[in-house]
């Protein structure tokens, strides 16, 4: 589903590594346009909060977190998110220069499944994920978050490879609506 006019929700999977920052930079440079909402989707592996909060957030994820709150260490600690200064700077500049609204949403659980759930729950019109380039053998044995998302998300998915990695194999028919960079 691609929205041709009006605000789009563009998701970027972030874990604040160099790989996810490359995906964030690509999304801002190549996809975001004024009026869009950039949704940082962060997935944490475990849920360690008091029982009432766990029941509230475990299945649906956190409430939408505005950039102003995300950059406040006290607020980000509530959600267990620790964006670094470089990422916050990139986001603040994008909000001003590109005219995009920047928000975040945190999920708890298995990253590949939670990223595809975010496509529906936010909802997202596009999702950008990074790829660490784990190689064909490890991908077959362990699976790949980006491969799972490309094959299960119901919106276009762009996989951004960290600079310096060899190009991926040509996409299969299952990934025809997705793009690798």
Tell me what the mean pLDDT of segment 9-20 comes to: 94
Tell me what the mean pLDDT of segment 112-130 comes to: 96
Decide if 52 is inside a domain: yes
Task: Give me the residue label for tokens 């001003």.
Answer: 96
- 144 vs 69: which has the higher pLDDT: 69
Decide if 2 is inside a domain: no
Which pLDDT score is estimated for 144?
83
- 50 vs 93: which has the higher pLDDT: 93
Which pLDDT score is estimated for 52?
53
Q: Residue 70 sits in a domain of what CATH number? A: 3.40.50.620
Which pLDDT score is estimated for 175?
45
Which pLDDT score is estimated for 168?
46
What is the C-alpha separation between 33 and 27, in angstroms, rounded? Answer: 10
Which pLDDT score is estimated for 77?
80
- pLDDT tens figures, 59-87: 889 999 999 999 898 888 888 888 999 99
Decide if 151 is inside a domain: yes
Decide if 4 is inside a domain: no
- pLDDT tens figures, 18-48: 999 999 999 999 999 999 999 999 998 766 6
* Total number of domains in the chain: 1
Decide if 21 is inside a domain: yes
Decide if 1 is inside a domain: no
What is the C-alpha separation between 63 and 14, in angstroms, rounded? Answer: 17
Decide if 76 is inside a domain: yes
Decide if 77 is inside a domain: yes
Lowest mean pLDDT among 43-57, 89-103, 154-168: 43-57
The answer to whether residues 71 and 88 touch, using CB atoms and an 8 Å cutoff, is yes
Range(s) of the domain holding residue 53: 9-180
Which pLDDT score is estimated for 128?
97
Tell me what the mean pLDDT of segment 135-160 comes to: 77
Q: Is 118 exposed, middle or buried (0-12, 13-18, 19+ CB in 10 A)?
A: buried
């Amino acid at each position: 589903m691609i929205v041709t006019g009006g605000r789009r929700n563009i998701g970027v999977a972030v874990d604040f590594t160099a790989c996810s920052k490359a995906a964030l930079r690509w999304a801002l440079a190549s996809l975001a346009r004024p009026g869009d909402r950039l949704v940082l989707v962060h997935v944490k592996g475990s849920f360690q909060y008091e029982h009432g909060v766990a029941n509230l957030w475990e299945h649906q994820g956190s409430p939408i977190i505005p950039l102003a709150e995300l950059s406040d260490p006290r607020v980000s600690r509530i959600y267990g998110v620790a964006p670094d200064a470089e990422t916050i700077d990139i986001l603040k500049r994008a909000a001003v220069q590109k005219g995009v609204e920047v928000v975040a949403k945190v999920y708890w659980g298995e990253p590949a499944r939670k990223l595809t759930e975010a496509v529906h729950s936010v909802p997202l019109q596009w999702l950008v994920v990074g790829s660490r380039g784990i190689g064909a053998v490890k991908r077959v044995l362990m699976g790949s978050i980006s491969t799972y998302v490309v094959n299960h998300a119901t919106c276009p998915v762009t996989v951004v490879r960290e600079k310096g990695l060899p190009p991926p194999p040509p996409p299969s028919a299952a990934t025809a609506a997705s793009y690798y960079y």
